[in-house]
C-alpha cells in the first residue's frame, strides 16, 4: 500500500528523468520505471521519513556550511605594526579581555591604561579574573546609577513643569514660622553636641595600629566603616568622644581618611592622635573589645574606655587584636552574642559601624535586646528566650550596683523590664 | 523498612542521655571479656531509664533497631581495628561514614528546561519557531548554544543553528557561538570541522582568549597541523601562563606525532613555570616509551619517577600499570612488576625488601624543629598563641625534665568520650602508660586544675604524680607546646592526640617543610582508637616506613592510588607497585 502511494507521488517528480530515459528503454518501459523509481525511492525515502537529516539534498548541505565562507572572507581589522614587547603584551591583554567579553565573561567593557597595568601586575590568573570581575561590577553599577540619574532628572523636569502650571494659580503667601534651612540647622546642632562630647563625653577609642595586617582593599573598607561609625555617633543624642589612637601621620590610614573627608578632616569633632590609648588613659580603665576574648561583656560601664580595633580581617588572622591586648595587658571583652542570639552563619566579628551603633544603644538604654538589633539579621535566626530566673538574676545585679548611669538610660531600661 | 531506619537515626541522641558507669581500670578487664553481657544489661537498663523522658524509646521496634545498630557498631569496631593507620587512603572517608550524623546529599536532577533541545538539524523556520517558544531572560542563541554544549548535541544541529544565525546576521556568527561550536567539534572529535573553525577564527580575530585557544589546541593536536597548536601555545604565553591542560594536550600531540624532543621541551617548560604536571602527561611519556628503545629516553622516564618522589605525588592505577608495562618492556634488564602491599614491619610482601624508614634524617629533624618554633609557636607574634613569659616558663620546664617518651594532649585525650568524666579518662590513659615505665608529659590548660564536676581534683593529683604536667593559660594554644616538647625530646618520642594538626601544618610557610612535618607526624603520632571508655587503650599503629616512590637501583617501589578509593590529601596510599630485576 505505502509503496503504491509513494509511487504516485514520485512519478511527478520523475517526469524530467523519464523524458531522458525513454529513448533508451522504451521497450521495457515498465521495468525501467520501476528501477528508476526504486533508485529514486531509496534515496528519497530517508528524506521523506526524516525530512531534515544529514542526507538532505546537496544544495541544503551547502547551506549548512555557507556561513563559513562569509566568515572567512570578512577581513579582520588591519594588523597593527609590530610594537615593542611591553606594549605588545598590553595590547594582547586588552584583546584578551575583549574576547572574554565577547564570550560573555564578567569583564569590563572599557578599561583604562592604569587598570590594565594593575591587571598585568596580578600574580595569578585567579587574581586577574577577580580584579576583572570587580571592574565589571563597578562599571555595571556606574551605568545603572547613570541611568537612574537621567530618569530622575527627566521626572524632575516634568514635575517642575506641572508645578509651574499649578503654582501660578495658587496663592504663594502662607505663614511659616521657619525658613527652610533644616540641613544647616541640624549640622549646627550636631556640631554643638559634638563639642559637648569633646568636653564631657565618654571616650571611645579606635585603635589604628593594624596597618600592616591589611591589604589596600581591606584598609579602604575599614575607612568606609570608620566614616560610617563617625556619622552614627554624630547623629546620636549623646555622642561618644571618639579617639583615633595610634594614627600615624602620613600613614596609610591617615592618607585615606584625609582623602575621604577632604577639607572636613581638620574640622572633625574627634581626637586623632599618634599616641597609644595606654598613654592617654589609665590602663585599668581600658577594655579592649574583641570577638576572640574569653570574657563576655555583661553590662556597658560608663566609666570605662572601650577600644575597638579598626581592622577588617578578610585574610583569616584570628587572634590579632587579642594578641595586641595581651601584649599591653589590657582587659578584653566580647559582645554576648551567643547569650542573646541564636547564631546561624557568619563570623562574630561585626563591622565598626555596627559596633558603634550597638555601643551607642547600650549607652543610652542599657538593653541588650535593643542594642543587638544592629547585628545583621542574616547572621542569626532570632533572639534566645532568656529564662525568667536569669532575667531576675540580671536585674538583681543591676540593682545592687550603684548606678552611675545616666538617669535617662536607666529610666528607659526599667520601663523595658517592667 | 523506613521505620527501623528512623530508629537508628534517633539512637545517638537517646544514647547521650544514658549515664556513664564510672568503671575503674579494674573493671575494664571484665568489661572487655564479658563485653556482650554488660552491653546488654546496660542497654536494657538505659532503655528503662529513658522511658519517662521519651515515649518513643519504649517502642519495641525501636529497641530492636537499636539492637541491630549495636551489631553494626560491633562490626565497625572490628573494622577500625583492622584499619591500617590514621593516614591510610580512605581512612577519613571510613571515619566519616561511622559518624551517623553525616547524610549523603543526593544531587537533585538537573531541572528540565521548557524547551526540548533539537535532535536533528532544523531549518530557519523551525529555529524561528523555537525562538518564539523560548521564554527565558537570556539571549536565545546564547542560551541554546550553551545548552547544546552542555548536552553534547550532534554537531549538525549546532551547525544548523550557526547557519540560521549567520543567515539572519549577514553571514556573521558571534564569537561565543563559535567557541561553543568549536567545543562540540572537539568533543565529537571532528577534526576537519575544528580546522575549519580554526581558519575562521584566524581570519576574523587577531587574537583569541584562553578558552578558545585551549579548545583549538586540543582539537588540532590530533590533526596534521599540530605544530600550529604549539604556535597557539606561544600566543597564550604572551598574556598568561598556559594551564597544565594546555601543556598536556601539546605534549600528548607531540608524542602522537613522534616528536619526542618537542614533548620533552614542553615538559621542561611546564616544570619551569612551577606547575605540577597532570599525571596523564607523565603517563603519556611512559606509554610512548614502550616503543622506544633509547637510553636517553629511559633516563628521562626515571627522572619523572624521581619527580614523583620529590613532590610526593602518587600515580593512579592506570598510570601504575603503564609504569609496570614500560619497565617490563625494557630489553635486557628483565624487570618484573607486581602489585602488592607493605607489611606492618615495613617489608614488601612481594620481594621482602625493607621500605625506607619514616624517620627524618638528623638535618631534616633539626630543620623541622627550628621551623616549628619559628613559624608555629612564634609566628611573628608570640602573643597570638601564647605569651613570652609562658614560652619562657615552658622552655625552662622542658629543660629541667629528662627527655619524654610520650607527650599527651591532655584535653584531646580527656574529651575522647563525651559521656565519661574528663579527669577519669585522662587518669586511665596516664596510669596505663605509666605502668610501662614511660616518661610521660601531659599538656593541658590551667582550667583543668580547678575543681569541678568534670575535673576532679584528686584524679588530677594522681595524674600529676604519674606524669610531668604543664598547664598553659586558658587562652593559649596547647598544640604548639605539644609539638615542641615532642620534637625537643628526640626521635623516639611520640605524642598522643586525635587531632590531625592540619592548622599547624598550614602555619608552616613552604610546602617542603609541610611535607617534612607530615612525614614526622606519620611516624610519631599515636591515636587512641577505643570506642568505649574504660577498656584497655589501644593505639592505631604507627607507620614505620615512608610512603613515597623509592628505588634501590635494582628495585623500585611505587605507591599508587586505587581508582575506587577516595584518598584525602592528608592520607597516603596503601597499595604498591613492586618492581625488581630477575637475577
pLDDT tens profile A310-367? 999 887 778 889 999 999 999 999 999 999 999 988 888 999 999 999 999 999 987 8
Which grid coordinates belong to B302? Answer: 626515571
Q: Which residues contact A116 (CB under 8 A, 6 or more apart)?
A: A90, A93, A94
Instruction: Give start and end residues of each alpha helix (H) in B386-473.
Output: 388-400, 410-414, 422-434, 457-466
DSSP B213-230: HHHHHHHHTTSTTHHHHH
Bridge-partner residues for A308, per DSSP?
A206, A289
Is pLDDT above 80 for B75?
no
- Residues of chain A where predicted confidence (pLDDT) is lower than 50: 1-62, 76-83, 401-418
Q: Do A99 and B205 touch (CB under 8 A)?
A: yes
Q: How does DSSP classify residue B571?
A: -
**If you average pLDDT over every residue of chain B, what do you get?**
81
CA distances from A234 to A196, A266, A306 (A): 11, 16, 18
In this complex, how many residue pairs, one in chain A and one in chain B, have their CB atoms less than 8 Å apart? 113
CA distances from B415 to A59, B39, B243, B426, B467 (A): 80, 22, 46, 9, 19
- pLDDT tens digits for range B520-552: 998 999 888 877 777 788 888 888 899 999 999
- pLDDT tens digits for range B445-454: 999 998 888 8
Contacts of A65 in chain B (CB under 8 A): 159, 163, 196
**C-beta separation of B557 from B580 below 8 A:** no
Strand A380-383 relative to strand B406-409, pairing = unpaired
- Please give the residue of chain A at the shortest CA–CA distance from B199: A72
What was the pLDDT predicted at A287? 95
- The band of B39, judged by pLDDT with boundaries at 50, 70 and 90, is very low
Count the neighbouring beta carbons within 10 Å of the beta carbon of residue B118: 19
Sign for the pseudo-dihedral over CA of A319, A321, A325, A328: positive
d(CA B198, CA A278): 69
CA distances from A374 to A311, A359, B480 (A): 19, 10, 38
Q: Which helix (H) or strand (E) holds A342?
A: strand A341-343
Is pLDDT above 70 for B114?
no
**C-beta separation of B574 from B331 below 8 A:** no
- pLDDT tens digits for range B420-437: 888 989 998 999 899 999
What was the pLDDT predicted at A61? 45
Contacts of A102 in chain B (CB under 8 A): 174-176
Q: How does DSSP classify residue B58?
A: G
Helix (H/G/I), strand (E/B), else coil: B153:
coil
d(CA B557, CA B320): 11
What was the pLDDT predicted at A308? 94
Of residues B163, B206, B208, nearest to A64 (C-beta): B163
- Mean pLDDT, range B143-159, rounded to an integer: 87
What was the pLDDT predicted at B465? 92
- Please give the residue of chain B at the shortest CA–CA distance from A86: B238
Contacts of B387 in chain A (CB under 8 A): 326
Helix (H/G/I), strand (E/B), else coil: B16:
helix
Mutate: best of A49, A50, A54, A72, partner B, most B CBs <10 A: A72
Which grid coordinates belong to A225? Answer: 566603616
Which grid coordinates belong to A74? Answer: 570578512
Closest CA to B181 of B167, B201, B209: B201
Backbone torsions φ then ψ of A381, nearest 5 degrees? -100, -5
Amino acid at each position: 500500500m505505502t509503496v503504491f502511494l509513494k509511487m504516485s507521488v514520485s512519478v511527478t517528480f520523475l517526469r524530467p528523468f523519464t523524458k531522458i530515459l525513454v529513448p533508451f528503454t522504451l521497450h521495457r518501459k515498465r521495468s525501467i520505471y520501476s528501477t528508476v523509481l526504486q533508485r529514486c525511492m531509496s534515496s528519497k525515502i530517508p528524506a521523506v521519513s526524516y525530512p531534515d537529516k544529514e542526507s538532505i539534498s546537496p544544495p541544503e548541505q551547502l547551506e549548512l556550511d555557507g556561513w563559513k565562507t562569509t566568515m572567512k572572507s570578512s577581513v579582520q581589522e588591519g594588523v597593527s605594526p609590530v610594537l615593542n614587547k611591553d606594549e605588545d603584551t598590553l595590547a594582547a591583554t586588552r584583546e584578551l579581555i575583549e574576547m572574554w567579553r565577547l564570550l560573555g565573561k564578567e569583564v569590563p567593557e572599557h578599561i583604562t591604561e592604569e587598570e590594565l597595568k594593575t591587571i598585568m601586575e596580578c600574580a595569578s590568573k585567579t587574581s586577574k579574573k577577580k580584579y576583572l570581575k570587580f571592574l565589571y561590577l563597578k562599571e555595571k553599577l556606574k551605568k545603572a546609577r547613570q541611568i537612574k540619574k537621567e530618569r530622575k532628572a527627566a521626572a524632575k523636569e516634568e514635575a517642575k513643569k506641572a508645578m509651574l502650571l499649578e503654582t501660578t494659580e495658587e496663592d504663594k503667601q502662607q505663614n511659616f514660622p521657619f525658613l527652610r534651612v533644616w540641613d544647616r540647622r541640624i549640622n549646627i546642632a550636631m556640631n554643638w553636641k559634638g563639642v559637648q562630647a569633646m568636653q564631657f563625653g565618654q571616650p571611645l577609642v579606635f585603635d589604628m595600629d593594624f596597618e600592616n595586617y591589611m591589604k589596600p582593599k581591606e584598609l579602604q573598607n575599614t575607612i568606609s566603616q570608620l566614616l560610617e561609625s563617625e556619622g552614627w555617633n554624630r547623629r546620636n543624642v549623646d555622642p561618644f568622644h571618639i579617639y583615633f589612637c595610634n594614627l600615624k601621620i602620613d600613614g596609610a590610614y591617615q592618607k585615606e581618611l584625609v582623602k575621604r573627608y577632604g577639607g572636613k578632616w581638620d574640622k572633625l569633632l574627634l581626637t586623632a592622635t599618634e599616641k597609644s590609648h595606654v598613654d592617654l588613659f589609665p590602663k585599668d580603665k581600658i577594655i579592649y573589645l574583641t570577638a576572640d576574648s574569653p570574657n563576655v561583656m555583661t553590662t556597658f560601664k560608663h566609666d570605662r574606655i572601650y577600644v575597638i580595633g579598626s581592622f577588617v580581617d578578610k585574610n583569616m588572622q584570628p587572634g590579632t587584636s587579642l594578641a595586641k591586648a595581651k601584649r599591653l595587658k589590657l582587659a578584653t571583652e566580647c559582645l554576648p552574642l551567643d547569650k542573646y542570639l541564636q547564631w546561624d552563619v557568619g563570623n562574630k566579628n561585626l563591622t565598626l559601624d555596627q559596633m558603634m551603633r550597638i555601643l551607642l544603644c547600650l549607652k543610652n538604654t542599657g538593653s541588650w535586646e535593643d542594642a543587638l538589633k544592629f547585628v545583621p539579621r542574616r547572621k542569626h535566626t532570632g533572639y534566645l528566650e532568656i529564662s525568667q530566673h536569669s532575667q531576675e538574676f540580671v536585674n538583681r545585679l543591676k540593682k545592687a550596683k550603684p548606678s552611675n548611669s545616666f538617669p535617662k538610660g536607666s529610666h528607659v531600661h526599667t520601663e523595658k523590664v517592667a | 523498612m523506613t521505620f527501623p531506619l528512623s530508629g537508628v537515626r534517633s539512637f545517638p541522641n537517646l544514647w547521650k542521655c544514658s549515664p556513664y558507669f564510672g568503671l575503674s581500670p579494674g573493671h575494664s578487664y571484665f568489661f572487655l571479656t564479658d563485653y556482650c553481657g554488660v552491653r546488654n544489661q546496660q542497654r536494657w537498663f538505659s532503655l528503662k531509664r529513658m522511658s519517662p523522658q521519651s515515649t518513643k524509646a519504649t517502642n519495641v521496634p525501636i529497641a530492636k533497631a537499636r539492637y541491630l545498630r549495636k551489631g553494626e557498631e560491633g562490626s565497625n569496631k572490628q573494622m577500625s581495628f583492622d584499619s591500617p593507620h590514621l593516614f591510610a587512603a580512605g581512612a577519613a572517608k571510613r571515619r566519616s561514614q561511622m559518624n551517623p550524623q553525616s547524610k549523603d546529599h543526593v544531587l537533585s536532577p538537573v531541572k528540565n528546561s521548557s524547551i526540548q533541545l533539537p535532535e536533528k538539524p532544523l531549518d530557519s523556520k523551525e529555529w524561528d519557531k523555537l525562538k518564539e517558544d523560548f521564554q527565558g531572560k537570556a539571549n536565545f542563541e546564547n542560551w541554546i548554544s550553551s545548552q547544546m554544549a552542555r548536552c553534547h548535541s550532534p554537531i549538525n544541529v549546532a551547525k544548523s543553528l550557526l547557519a540560521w544565525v549567520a543567515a539572519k546576521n549577514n553571514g556573521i556568527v558571534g564569537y561565543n557561538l563559535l567557541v561553543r561550536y568549536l567545543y562540540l567539534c572537539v568533543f565529537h572529535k571532528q577534526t576537519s570541522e575544528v580546522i575549519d573553525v580554526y581558519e575562521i577564527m584566524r581570519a576574523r580575530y587577531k587574537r583569541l582568549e584562553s578558552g578558545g585557544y585551549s579548545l583549538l589546541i586540543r582539537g588540532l593536536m590530533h590533526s596534521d597541523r599540530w605544530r600550529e597548536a604549539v604556535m597557539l601555545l606561544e600566543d597564550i604565553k604572551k598574556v598568561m601562563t598556559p594551564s597544565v591542560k594546555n601543556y598536556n594536550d601539546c605534549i600528548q600531540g607531540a608524542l602522537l606525532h613522534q616528536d619526542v624532543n618537542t614533548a620533552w621541551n614542553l615538559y621542561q617548560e611546564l616544570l619551569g613555570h612551577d606547575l605540577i604536571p597532570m599525571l596523564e602527561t607523565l603517563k603519556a611519556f611512559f606509554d610512548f616509551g614502550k616503543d622506544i628503545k633509547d637510553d636517553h629516553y629511559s633516563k628521562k622516564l626515571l627522572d619523572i619517577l624521581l619527580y614523583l618522589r620529590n613532590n610526593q605525588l602518587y600515580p593512579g592505577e592506570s598510570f601504575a600499570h603503564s609504569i609496570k608495562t614500560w619497565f617490563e618492556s625494557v630489553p635486557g634488564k628483565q624487570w618484573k612488576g607486581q602489585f602488592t602491599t607493605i607489611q606492618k614491619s615495613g617489608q614488601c610482601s612481594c620481594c621482602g625488601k625493607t621500605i625506607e624508614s619514616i624517620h627524618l634524617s638528623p638535618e631534616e629533624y633539626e630543620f623541622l624543629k627550628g621551623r616549628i618554633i619559628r613559624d608555629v609557636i612564634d609566628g611573628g607574634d608570640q602573643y597570638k598563641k601564647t605569651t613570652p613569659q609562658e614560652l619562657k616558663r615552658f622552655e625552662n620546664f622542658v629543660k629541667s625534665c629528662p627527655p619524654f617518651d610520650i607527650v599527651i594532649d591532655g584535653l584531646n585525650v580527656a574529651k575522647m568520650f563525651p559521656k565519661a568524666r574528663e579527669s577519669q579518662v585522662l587518669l586511665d590513659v596516664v596510669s596505663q602508660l605509666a605502668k610501662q615505665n614511660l616518661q610521660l608529659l601531659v599538656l593541658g590548660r590551667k582550667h583543668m586544675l580547678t575543681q569541678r564536676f568534670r575535673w576532679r581534683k584528686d584524679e588530677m593529683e594522681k595524674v600529676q604524680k604519674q606524669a610531668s604536667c604543664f598547664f598553659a593559660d586558658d587562652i593559649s594554644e596547647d598544640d604548639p607546646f605539644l609539638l615542641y616538647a615532642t620534637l625537643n625530646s628526640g626521635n623516639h618520642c611520640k605524642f598522643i592526640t586525635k587531632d590531625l594538626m592540619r592548622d599547624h601544618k598550614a602555619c608552616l610557610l613552604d610546602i617542603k617543610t609541610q611535607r617534612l612535618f607530615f612525614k614526622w607526624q606519620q611516624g610519631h603520632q599515636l591515636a587512641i582508637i577505643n570506642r568505649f571508655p574504660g577498656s584497655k587503650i589501644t593505639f592505631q599503629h604507627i607507620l614505620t616506613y615512608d610512603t613515597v616512590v623509592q628505588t634501590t637501583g635494582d628495585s623500585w617501589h611505587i605507591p599508587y592510588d586505587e581508582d575506587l578509593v577516595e584518598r584525602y590529601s592528608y592520607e597516603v596510599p596503601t597499595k604498591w607497585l613492586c618492581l625488581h630485576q630477575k637475577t
